[in-house]
Chains A and B, each alone.
Chain A
């Protein structure tokens, strides 16, 4: 049954369908004195690789010549997916390439390793004669040598070479411009000199010199993470975590695009500086490649953190944090597998040491022996947001929640430190909270940052309600539990003696509180329920139902005087004590008392 099917015949004085409208009625007043993030339903290109057969260079997808290709060689990850490129006696080029055209910001990344003789790796973007960009990598760690064609139309050209696993170097050339193909060459020269009109130095091969090649990637995002392809190119889109300006409401969406309604949250601080900058984190036995992949925000800001070369050991990152004994903290992190599937969060110094291990191949928690609060939520293109909640047992300034990355669900020790496999990290958050609120990204800043509380309200005078019998309906879901004041999904407040609140997540399972002339009563359920709640008030009668359950009634509650009151969505009043953290899909206010049947019908 749809919402409209169960709607009573009575007409609401005010109704807001946040989930379906995706906008705010102009009678509503929304404030938030800071920016805030939300998955607003938009998407971005999250990863791509426009090469097919990205590591099977003897496939017909690769053109070129002058080399004998031998498969089955040791690759950077310890597998056997690399190729030896042995130059033959051709006097021309010794290369492979694929025809890929377009005007983009290109990134060409190939893993290369010296084999026999003294040969080097050359990567090349080609548009037309004398219009090219190329770089030669010595496969020994020196700065790459780059060259531009005399008529080059490319801009933003860079080249980098980074030591990787099993003797390979990760070699990348980036350039913005129009290409017709991208090529991978064996080069006799260690620098980009004596080039012809096509950006190559032809030479006669000796039939003995060779280099090893693996994992070719051509992206349009600037990313250098590797996404293997076979017969089809790789191109994946993901929901975008978007920053909304001050005083702009946030309409949240699930990963598959379903509207969750308006997100209302209280104030929260990300106590981590450098939340998306692993370069400034501490760690052990790990290597960092900054800005290697596209983050859930759609920006090239995700860092690749890999194992170093140490075998039979742990590999992890962390920051030292100050914690106060007795305070509950939630640590969250956006993470994606990049060769390793297991990530462990371990609150340690300042906390009882416990490990929670997540499997990034299927989005599950595989171990949590300490029974900590923990979650893993997909956010698109194999990215997850993982979190752990723990209460500090000491006041210290060197608390940690280390992030281990490993190959096993049962141990944080990785057998082989190959300097290649790792994880992508972005958007770390450490907050004094029992749940993970929306990300306050501190990015590459040394400052921590605070998201301001949100308020959504409308004056009853603006919706034509002037007091008397009243009914409320709301549908929403709160995040986390609140063992204190609880959270209010919908409130009508004139003063502390005359008010109505639709409650959730309070210790006593309260679903409603009403104060009329200073006399208060509440309706309490047998358990917590998130969902649809409806209340009806008339003289000396309060009734309510949640999710179609049996109507609860209090026949002694005086009707509050709500003439001149204000309706608050996600709060009881303008204060912070009853601030909701969660989603509200729909709310309605009726200027009359609905029947019990209508209450059940509305909430079923």
Chain B
């Protein structure tokens, strides 16, 4: 599991920002106008903010509010040729004994 400070940091490390449209008013100097985020890895599983605790009665009324844990969480599973060394600093260690999510 990877833990980033926030969603924006995760996007920076896990996605490439790629221009998909340009303003070509000046053909010699096209200006990027639209972008999309293309994943650097084929298998990215975003958990986002993880909440713990929380309880409700049988009617769904909240008895105890769930608590947001700090950070933005993701799982990745690298394919051959995908380099993840730049993510080493974000790996959660030790690996959670009871992970919130696993790969099937």
Residue numbers of A with Cβ under 8 A of B are: 31, 33-36, 267, 269, 282, 284, 320, 322, 348-349, 397-398, 400, 440-441, 445-453, 455, 574-576
Contact = CB atoms under 8 A, between A and B. Distances in A.
Contacts of B60: 320, 348-349, 398, 400
Nearest to A243: B104
Q: Which 4 A-B pairs have the closest CB atoms?
A: A33-B77, A34-B104, A34-B103, A448-B101
Contact of A574 (B42, B54, B58): B42
Contacts of B45: 267, 269, 450
A451 B45 CA distance: 9
Contact of A446 (B62, B78, B98): B98
Given A33-B43, A398-B60, A576-B39, 8 more contacts: A33-B77, A33-B79, A36-B104, A320-B56, A440-B104, A441-B104, A448-B101, A449-B104
A449 B103 contact: yes
B58 A284 contact: yes
B35 interface: no
Which of B51, B60, B98 has the most chain A CB atoms closer than 10 A to its own CB?
B60
B100 interface: yes
Given A33-B77, A397-B51, A451 B104 contact: yes
Chain B contact residues: over half helix, strand or loop, or mixed? loop
Given A34-B104, A348-B60, A450 B51 contact: no
13 contacts: A34-B77, A267-B45, A348-B60, A349-B60, A398-B62, A400-B60, A440-B104, A445-B102, A447-B100, A449-B104, A450-B102, A450-B104, A451-B104
Interface in B41-57: 42-43, 45, 51, 54, 56
Q: Kindly state the interface size class of chain B when it binds its partner.
A: 20 to 34
B99 interface: yes
B70 interface: no
B81 to A, nearest CB: 11
Interface string B62-91: 100010000000010111000000000000
B101 to A, nearest CB: 5
A226 to B, nearest CB: 30
A137 B103 CA distance: 44
Contacts of B104: 34-36, 440-441, 449-452
Given A398-B62, A575-B39, A450 B103 contact: yes
A440 B103 CA distance: 9
A452 B56 contact: no
Interface of B: 38-39, 42-43, 45, 51, 54, 56, 58, 60, 62, 66, 75, 77-79, 98-104
Contacts of A574: 42
Given A33-B79, A398-B62, A453 B43 contact: yes
A452 B51 contact: no
Contact of B42 (A441, A445, A447, A455): A455
A453 B66 CA distance: 31
Contacts of A449: 101-104
Which of B39, B60, B104 has the most chain A CB atoms closer than 10 A to its own CB?
B104
Contacts of A348: 60
Contacts of A349: 60
B102 to A, nearest CB: 5
A449 B79 CA distance: 18
A455 B79 CA distance: 11
A449 B78 CA distance: 17
B61 to A, nearest CB: 8
A447 B43 contact: no
A71 B100 CA distance: 54
Contacts of B42: 31, 33, 452-453, 455, 574, 576
A450 B101 contact: yes
Contacts of A33: 42-43, 77-79, 103
B79 to A, nearest CB: 6
Contacts of A451: 103-104
B66 to A, nearest CB: 5
Contacts of A441: 104
A582 to B, nearest CB: 19
B93 to A, nearest CB: 18
Nearest to B44: A267
Contacts of B99: 447
Given A267-B43, A349-B60, A452 B54 contact: no
B82 to A, nearest CB: 10
A31 B80 CA distance: 10
B19 to A, nearest CB: 11
Nearest to A446: B98
B56 to A, nearest CB: 5
A448 B101 CA distance: 4
Nearest to A400: B60
Nearest to B61: A398
Given A33-B42, A397-B51, A282 B100 contact: no
A452 B103 contact: yes
A581 to B, nearest CB: 16
A455 B81 CA distance: 15
A54 B92 CA distance: 57
Contacts of A320: 54, 56, 60
Contact of B77 (A36, A397, A440, A452): A452
A33 B101 CA distance: 15
A392 B79 CA distance: 34
A267 B43 CA distance: 8
A349 B98 CA distance: 28
A349 B56 CA distance: 12
Contacts of B54: 320, 397-398
A447 B39 contact: no
B34 to A, nearest CB: 14
Contacts of A282: 58
Contacts of B62: 398
A448 B96 CA distance: 14
Nearest to A445: B102
Given A36-B104, A449-B103, A31 B79 contact: yes
